[in-house]
Amino acid sequence: MNIARKPRRINSSFHQLTREPALMIGVIIITGLLILFILYPMFAAAKMSLTPNGQFSGSVYRYVLTHSQYLNAIRNSVFLGAIVATLATFIGFLFAFSLTRVRIGGKRFFQGMALLPIISPPFMFALSVILLFGRNGLITSKLLGMDMANIYGLKGLVIVQTVSMFPIAYMTLSGILQGIDPDLETCAMNLGAKRGKAFLTVTLPLALPGIFASWLLVFVSSLTDFGNPIIIGGNFNVLSVQAYLEFTGMGNLPRGTALAMLLLVPTVGVFFIQKYIMKNKSYVTVTGKSSRRSTSQSSAALRIILTLLCAVISGFILLFYATIIGGSFIKLWGINWSFTLNHFIYSWDVGFTTMKNTLFLAIISTPITALFGMAIAFIVVRKDFPGKHIMEFVSMLSYAIPGTAVGIGYILAFNKAPFELSGTAFILITCYVFRNVPIGVEGGIAALKQISNEIEESSINLGATSAATFRKITLPLIRPAIFSGATFAFVRSMTAISAIIFLVSARWNHMTVLILAQTEIMRLGAASVMSFALIIVIMVFIFIIMKVTGLGREQIFGTTK
């Protein structure tokens, strides 16, 4: 780009703003909201951690970074994240490779298994692992007769985080693997490479950016996970839990905030690396049209091995769900195995209002999130104005901010005039909307970029007005993206914990927080019932969305066909 042209571009993009007052108003409102609900809370948190006594000072960070308790938490978080990221990426690759390249049987089932953890409450697996492997666990105590099984800590965390996070790796990698032309592997074999050699020299190197990206995503998820470590972490201290305990338990606001801000460093770093990788993955499709034939070059032995591996992992996942269902009907797990409906009665009494409120807030925030995300995507893709890349960046940035930091930031930012919102439904809704909007923006941008300008121009050329074109052409084409974004927004609202645990109140509680409380007082039966109920509500919602919109599972979850 030569320099002389640049000012003119900015000028002309300014002109688009002044020519379209509606656009200008939209841009101003969106920018204002993004600043207020994404940047300002982070600013408030940064300020709290840097001005413990009203004056600027790095003393809080210095304290945190020189005391073994906190250094341990950092080390533990990173260690755990690295293990989980490696295992989850491995399993995710196994699933993605088996389903998209080798094409083993039972595809719908395995795909369902890889999606199930996504729609489950954040610590459901932790609860299940305690029921199976805990002190009174079905397997450890009852079947193996172990007396003091200790699943709490690193072991348990690795299991539950791997199971709940491998879907992230699966979704990333199945997209990448599908992007690799099957002709390439076929060609490698044609040139004399055996199947394994073709995999190592062609498929694996091409998937490497995806593998790296997926590793980073899982790493960050593990780092920012709050639900699992607080339940099953035991003495294994991690950063997110430490921040929460400092902030709410000890009331040490600056130190809790500083710990949460430390989480921000790797997540934002990964966010940038991720963007960079995805921008440079373009070499996946360079050459002409592919023959589209999938390779069925795999031997029967390989298919059997992969099917078995996927089946074993799926079996584990199903076992965890069965345990939760079982736990709902058992009187006192580990001690009294008789059948009861008491947990349901208790849960109804204790949890009905909370469930109603949780659902109500999720249903309010879902369409707002989806439409807001699509509006940003539309403006970013179709309009030209100064600073639009910054708008896109900030709207995506909230993806990178750990829930703990968001929760603390919101509490600090909105607890006094002019934004006194704490304890209200409004603060929860805004939290959902701005935490989940990146999914809508990302999906919307992808969908809109696929609609070439020529399609819309030809509609206008054929006599449709801009409004009619949007209604008849653009909207139907982006509809799947809108509902996909809405579904994810709903699921994430229903299963949120790390941010909203700071924001709930007696009036507006959340099911996940309630389940956490039940688990902490060892009412595992009730916790099981409530987790189970939460999954059912989410599944019913997804079922309704699919029936009403006529969209399939692939379109909603954006996975393989």
Partner 1 sequence: MKQNDYLQLNNLVKDFHDGRGNIVRAVDNISLSISKGEFVTLLGPSGCGKTTTLRMVAGFEVQSSGDIILDDKKINNVPAFNRNMPMVFQSYALFPHLTIYENIAYGLQVRKMPKDTIRNDVAMAAQMVNLVGLENRYPGELSGGQQQRVALARALVLKPEIILFDEPLSNLDAKLRIQTRTEIKRVQQLLGITALYVTHDQSEALSISDTIVIMHNGKIVQSGSPEDIYNHPADPFVSDFIGNANFFEGKITELDNRFVTVSLLGSEVRVPAANVQDGLGRGNDVMLAIKPEAVEVKPDTGQFTGKIEVSSFLGATTEYKVEYSDGFLTAIHPNTHGEVHNYRFGQDVRFSFKTDFFKVYKR
| Residue pair 519/527 in contact by the 8 Å Cβ criterion | yes
Closer residue to partner 1, CB minimum distance, 178 or 365: 178
The residue from 145, 251, 288, 418 that contacts partner 1 (CB under 8 A) is: 288
Cβ neighbour number for residue 88 with a 10 Å cutoff = 28
Decide if residue 279 touches partner 1 (CB under 8 A).
no
201 part of the interface to partner 1, by CB under 8 A: yes
The answer to whether residue 194 forms part of the interface with partner 1 (CB under 8 A) is yes
Q: Using the rule CB under 8 A, is 476 a contact of partner 1?
A: no
* Cα–Cα distance, 296 to 300 (Å, whole number): 10
Q: Does 99 bind partner 1 (CB under 8 A)?
A: no
For the record, the structure tokens of 204 come out as: 């694996």
Nearer to partner 1, 11 or 290 (CB): 290
Q: How far is the CB of 180 from partner 1 (least distance, A)?
A: 9
Provide φ and ψ at 121, rounded to 5°: -60, 150
- Site for partner 1 contains 301 (CB under 8 A): no
Among 191, 300, 335, 548, binds partner 1 (CB under 8 A): 191
189 binds partner 1 (CB under 8 A): yes
- Decide: is 449 part of the binding site for partner 1 (CB under 8 A): no
Which residues neighbour 415 within 8 Å (Cβ) at sequence distance 6 or greater? 421, 422
Q: How far is the CB of 212 from partner 1 (least distance, A)?
A: 14
206 binds partner 1 (CB under 8 A): yes
Region binding partner 1 by CB under 8 A among candidate stretches 77-85, 285-293, 318-326, 502-510? 285-293
Residue from 91, 116, 160, 188 touching partner 1 (CB under 8 A): that is 188
Range 131-135 contact pairs with CB under 8 angstroms and sequence separation of 24 or more: 131/323, 131/324, 131/326, 131/327, 131/333, 131/524, 131/528, 132/319, 132/320, 132/323, 134/334, 135/334
295, 307, 415, 424: which one binds partner 1 (CB under 8 A): 295
**Cβ–Cβ < 8 Å for 541, 253:** no
Please state the closest distance from residue 299 (CB atom) to partner 1, in A. 10
First-residue to last-residue Cα distance in the chain: 40
Q: Report the nearest approach of partner 1 to the CB of residue 378 (Å).
A: 31
Residues in contact with 20: Cβ distance below 8 Å, sequence separation at least 6, in sequence order = 383
The answer to whether the bond into 418 is cis (omega within 30° of 0) is yes
How far is the C-alpha of 195 from the C-alpha of 204, rounded, in Å?
12
Taking the complex as a whole, the smallest distance from the CB of residue 208 to partner 1 amounts, in Å, to 8
Residue 181 makes contact with partner 1 by CB under 8 A? yes
Contacts of residue 538, defined as CB under 8 A and 6 or more positions apart, other chains included, come to 119, 490, 491, 494, 495
Give yes or no for residue 183 binding partner 1 (CB under 8 A).
yes
Q: Examine residue 287 and tell whether it contacts partner 1 (CB under 8 A).
A: yes
The piece of 3-11, 157-165, 185-193, 498-506 that touches partner 1 (CB under 8 A) is 185-193
Ramachandran bin of 153, using left for φ above 0, alpha for ψ from -120 to 50, beta for the remaining angles: left
Element (H, E) at 493: helix 475-494
Among the residue ranges 7-15, 70-78, 186-194, 536-544, the one whose residues contact partner 1 (CB under 8 A): 186-194
* CB closer to partner 1, 203 vs 528: 203
Distance, CA of 186 to CA of 295 (rounded, Å) = 7
536 to 121, 489, 530: CA distances (angstroms): 11, 17, 10
Q: Which of 144, 187, 460, 544 binds partner 1 (CB under 8 A)?
A: 187
CB of 315 to partner 1, least distance (A): 27
| Phi, psi values for residue 191, rounded to 5° | -85, 0
Query: Where does this chain touch partner 1 (CB under 8 A) — which range of 9-17, 112-120, 184-192, 246-254?
Result: 184-192
Q: How far is the CB of 283 from partner 1 (least distance, A)?
A: 4
Which range binds partner 1 by CB under 8 A, 226-234, 286-294, 349-357, 420-428?
A: 286-294
- Residue among 5 and 279 whose Cβ is closer to partner 1: 279
Q: Which of 148, 286, 300, 312 binds partner 1 (CB under 8 A)?
A: 286
Angle, CA of 190, 194 and 196, to the nearest 5°: 130
| Residues lying near partner 1 in the complex (CB under 8 A) | 181, 183-184, 186-195, 197-198, 201-202, 205-206, 282-291, 293, 295, 297
